[in-house]
Structure 1
């Protein structure tokens, strides 16, 4: 594979574009508390971080057959008030500008469902991406490669023309199954084509810094 062939750079949201640990923990803790359950354990936190909301709710409430009350609770709580606890990754906006200046397609592939638009709006990033694919856009979220395949199809790209940046095993599996380049962000334990700790290092891989 030739790094110079890359035409599109696709970002996962949670753990890559943003540190969402505090926001996600507060959100799910409030949901759990509404049903008199204790807050997230460390293991639960790691798992829900990768999952879609639906997967997370099924995982956190295995004892409930009819989850409609839990979903009603989610609507009441809402996620928007937790966005303020998210922190944008240092150098993200600068990297996105440089990618655009260098002619790259910029994308998002995330297992968020209906909150991505609001996140981009609140952080002033609405105009920084050519494509945003969420769990709501596809039939099968990550680890299925559908999000990446959709981006490929939309822009008529080959697998070796996409660089996908993620931080979880779901991301790794999606990249592997789509046969695209994979960058593991701030997770040195993940097997990847590249392991990085900063946005600057991504620019370095593409030789645009």
Structure 2
């Protein structure tokens, strides 16, 4: 069956929030554990729900740390977020060619909407499934299944596109094709080892994979 549905992660895939995420983690961890966590440690947290990241640091104060992170993240959002090369044009082309598009992200809805609006990508996505909408975020397939249900699609028709191991694992768990982006902050070698079906050098590579002229 032909792919007609694309499920996209947001951060690190469509929009470059790496500087913002690292700055927000650095700010928060520096407040509670000065000089204990390196940039490499922080990169290891990227892609999983915030509460899980901070629970691994300090289970008792995890919720409190999440609030500190989110305040910093929202206040600095528009200063530090940019769009990856080729993303806008590719998403626009996919929509014009009748593909069903959804965002599937571990972020909360308010910051998802901020990022989509800032990069003008909001016009292309009628379905957005955030961490607020499910009991079990990625790598559990619940978010992907919810997006496919809202789009009227099946796993045979869908592909998950993301930058972290959680995206690729969620895609495999949902029984959909997977595409990883080579610009993942976790590194090309790391993301290749997750064995995605496709590795994208530029978002426009999707058009070739899907046979879009």
TM-score strictly above 0.5: yes
| Structure 1 residues 39 and 11: CA distance shift in structure 2, 3 A | farther
Distance 1:163 1:130 in 2: 17
Distance 1:131 1:152 in 2: 9
Q: In the alignment, which residue of structure 1 is the partner of 2:181?
A: 185
Q: In the alignment, which residue of structure 2 is the partner of 1:145?
A: 141
Q: In the alignment, which residue of structure 1 is the partner of 2:203?
A: 199
Distance 2:70 2:122 in 1: 24
| CA root-mean-square deviation | 1.9
Report the CA distance between 1:75 and its aligned residue.
5.3
User: Partner of 2:132: helix, strand, or coil?
Assistant: coil
Matches within 5 A, 1:83-162: 83-114=78-109, 115-162=111-158
| Structure 1 residues 189 and 155: CA distance shift in structure 2, 3 A | same
User: Partner of 2:60: helix, strand, or coil?
Assistant: coil
Q: In the alignment, which residue of structure 1 is the partner of 2:168?
A: 172
Distance 1:178 1:7 in 2: 16
1:7 matched to 2:16: no
Report the CA distance between 1:135 and its aligned residue.
0.9
* Runs (5+) with no aligned partner, structure 2: 183-187
1:29 matched to 2:26: yes
Q: Answer 1 or 2: which has greater helix percent.
A: 2
5-14 or 139-148: bigger deviation:
5-14
